[in-house]
Amino acid sequence: MKYNEIFSVIKNLQFDVKESICIDDNNVELFIIRPSEVSSNLRNEYTKEKNFQIWLSYNDVRKFRPNHLRILIDLNLRARLRPDLTKKLLLAFDSIFYREDPNEAINSLENEKFEYMLNSLKIIANLSQLFLVEQEYNYQESKFDPKTLFYQGWVREFIHNSKEIDNLCMSVARFQPPKAQYTDRENKKNLRKYQPDLKPLWYLENENLRIL
């Protein structure tokens, strides 16, 4: 679904009704649900009318709620094993950030082989879209405008940065922002660096990179 469509689905989601987003060829299902009760540790952050949960189900047997690190680690593994596809991965997940349908955004990657991954690219792409909607719909305060740029900056950094994955994950776990390289010129709150009408992959400019 396109961004506005999935945003509308989430906004109008009924309590305790499962909404399936996609099922991949491995019978892994991505779905969302709005619980009628919000856990006590989230009551100060979300109202139950806006809260929604994201779930993965494996053959309807094993179910769990993934977090952002699942996407970041998966994309980091893909980029490390297929550095020739770094540019395509960045473009695809930036397209999702810019509100393209995730299934269309990954078209150029569908026939590529990745030796290691956490989920299919279809699941990862649609999951990334859901996390973007979650940030826009639920998060109140941010040093980034758009608010989703905080998350997208980490997506870019995990795909592109050669820093060890342990260190990258530790930075995310400590709620540190991504490197300014991946966000500054797109962040409207960065009055010194912000630039409108940026080119695709603007954050790779002025670097001596081996991007194929």
pTM for the predicted model, two decimal places: 0.93
Of 64, 91, 107, the one marking the end of a domain is 64
pLDDT at residue 41 greater than cutoff 90: no
Tokens of 165: 């994955």
Task: Identify whether residues 72 and 101 lie together within a single domain.
Answer: yes
- 109 in a domain, yes or no? yes
Q: Give residue 207's pLDDT.
A: 65
Phi/psi at 57 (nearest 5 deg)? -130, 130
Same domain, yes or no: 42 and 102: no
Are 35 and 49 part of one and the same domain?
yes
- Answer yes or no: do 119 and 175 share one domain: yes
One-letter amino acid of 105: A
User: Is residue 134 domain-shared with residue 195, that is, in the same domain?
Assistant: yes
**Domain total of the chain:** 2
Question: Quick check: is 209 in a domain?
Answer: no
User: What count of Cα atoms within 13 Å lies in the side-chain half-sphere of residue 44?
Assistant: 1
31-40 CB burial, b ≥16 within 10 A, e <16: bbbbeeebee
pLDDT at 211: 41
Place of tokens 């991954």: 117
Mean pLDDT across 165-193 = 97
Q: Kindly report the average pLDDT of the chain as a whole number.
A: 93
Same domain assignment for residues 82 and 187: yes
Q: What domain range is 29 assigned to?
A: 3-64
Helices (H), 22-173: 68-81, 86-97, 102-105, 121-138, 149-160, 165-173
Residue 130 CA to residue 60 CA, distance in Å, equals 20
- Say which amino acid occupies 36: S
| DSSP reduced 3-state for 54 | strand
pLDDT interval class at 45 (50, 70, 90): low
Mean per-residue pLDDT, 64-75: 97
**Whole-number Å distance between alpha carbons of 26 and 119:** 9
Lowest mean pLDDT among 30-44, 59-73, 113-127, 194-208: 30-44
* Boundary-marking domain end, from 24, 39, 64: 64
116/84 same-domain check: yes
Would the pLDDT of 188 be above 80? yes
> Which stretch of DSSP H or E encloses residue 11?
helix 3-11
Q: How many CA atoms lie less than 13 Å away from 50 in the CB half-sphere?
A: 14
- pLDDT (0 to 100) of residue 209: 45
What's the pLDDT tens digit per position in 127-151?
999 999 999 998 778 999 999 999 9
> Please, which residues bridge with residue 53 across strands?
33
All residues at 6 or more sequence positions from 49 whose CB lies less than 8 Å from its CB, including other chains: none
Residue 211 lies inside a defined structural domain of this protein: no
Length of the chain: 212
Say yes or no: 132 and 165 in one domain: yes
Q: Which of 16-20, 157-161, 203-207 has the lowest mean pLDDT?
A: 203-207
For the stretch 83-126, pLDDT in tens is 999 999 999 999 999 999 999 999 999 899 999 999 999 999 99
Q: Identify whether the C-beta of residue 168 lies closer than 8 Å to the C-beta of residue 134.
A: no
Compute the average pLDDT of residues 175-193.
97
Same domain, 51 and 114: no
Q: Is 40 among the domain residues?
A: yes
83 and 131 fall within a common domain: yes
The pLDDT score that the predictor gives to residue 42 is: 60
pLDDT band at 38 (very low <50, low <70, confident <90, very high): confident
Question: Of 11, 36, 64, which marks where a domain is finished?
Answer: 64
Residue at 212 is within a domain:
no
